[in-house]
Amino acid sequence: MHSVIKRQPKFDALVTNSGPLTFIYHLSLLLLLSFLVFWRNPGRLFIGNDGPTFISLAKEQFDFFGISLNLHSNLLEGLANLSLPINLSVLPQYWFPMYNGAGIFAPAATYSLFAAQWFATILLVGWNYGFSRQARYVAAWLLTLLMFPYFPTIKIYQITATAPHFVTLLLAGALIDVSIWRIGAGSWRYNIGYAILMLSGVLIVLIALPPALVLIVPFLCISGACSLRYASSRLVMAYKFGAVAALLVLSASLGWLEYVAGLSLYSAAGSFLAEMLPSTSSSLVYVSIFFQGYLELLAGGIGAGFWLFVAAFLGSGIALFDGNQRLRYLAIMLLLVQALFILIGIWFSQLNDGWSGPAPIYFETPIFSLYGLFAVYFIFWVYSAIAKLLPPVSRLTALPHVQIISPFVLVAALIVYTFTLPSETRSAGHYALPPASTSLTQVLEKEIAIRPGMPFAGRVANVQPGQDFWKQVQYSSSLNTVSGNDHQTTGLWLKNIPTLHEYNQIITPAYYRIVRDFLAIPTDKQYRSWTNFSKVDPRIFRLLGVRFLLSSEDTLENTTERAVMELPSQKPLRLFELNNAKIAGISAVRTTVVHTIDEAEAIMHASDFEENHAVLFASSGESLLVGKNRTLVSVDDSQLTVEKGAFRLRAKSKGLTMLILPIEYSHCLSIETMSGETPQAQRVDIALTGLLFDREVDVRLVSRIGPFTQPRCRWQDYLEFRAILQSTAF
Residues 555-586: tens digit of each pLDDT: 999 999 999 999 988 899 999 999 999 898 99
Distance CA 117, CA 144 (A): 10
Q: What pTM was computed for the model?
A: 0.91
Q: 387, 228, 222, 221: which is closest to 316 by C-alpha? A: 222
Cβ neighbours of 645 (radius 10 Å): 19
Residues 246-277: tens digit of each pLDDT: 999 999 999 999 999 999 999 999 999 889 98
Q: 533, 505, 531: which is closest to 519 by C-alpha? A: 533
Q: Is 521 helix (H, G, I), strand (E, B) or coil?
A: coil
Where exactly are the structural domains of the chain?
439-578, 586-725
State percent of the chain over pLDDT 90: 69
101 pLDDT more than 60: no
Distance CA 262, CA 213 (A): 13
Distance CA 125, CA 530 (A): 36
Residues 122-180: tens digit of each pLDDT: 999 999 998 988 899 999 999 999 999 999 988 899 899 999 999 999 999 999 999 99
Residues 399-433: tens digit of each pLDDT: 455 667 888 999 999 999 999 999 998 887 899 88
Distance CA 110, CA 542 (A): 40
Residues 295-320: tens digit of each pLDDT: 999 988 899 999 999 999 999 999 99
Contact 30, 150 (CB under 8 A): no
Distance CA 441, CA 444 (A): 5
Buried b (16+ CB within 10 A) or exposed e, 680-709: ebbbbbbbbbbbbbbebbbbbbbbbbbbeb
Distance CA 489, CA 506 (A): 17
Residues 189-225: tens digit of each pLDDT: 888 999 999 999 999 999 999 988 889 988 998 888 8
Peptide bond just before 434 cis, omega within 30 deg: yes
Q: Is 35 helix (H, G, I), strand (E, B) or coil?
A: helix
**DSSP character for 504?**
-
Quick one: 493 exposed, middle or buried, by C-beta within 10 A (0-12, 13-18, 19+)? buried
Residues 6+ apart with CB under 8 A from 645: 64, 65, 66, 72, 700, 702
Question: Residue 524: what pLDDT?
Answer: 92
Residue 38 CA to its chain's centroid (Å) = 22
Across 290-377, the runs of DSSP E, i.e. the strands, are: none
In sign, the C-alpha dihedral spanning 208, 214, 217, 218 is negative
Of residues 65 and 356, the one with the higher pLDDT is: 65
Contact 670, 701 (CB under 8 A): yes
661 pLDDT more than 70: yes
From residue 465, alpha-carbon distances to 29, 378, 499, 534, 668 in Å are 55, 58, 17, 4, 34
From residue 556, alpha-carbon distances to 464, 492, 548 in Å are 10, 21, 11
Give 476's pLDDT tier (boundaries 50, 70, 90). Answer: very high
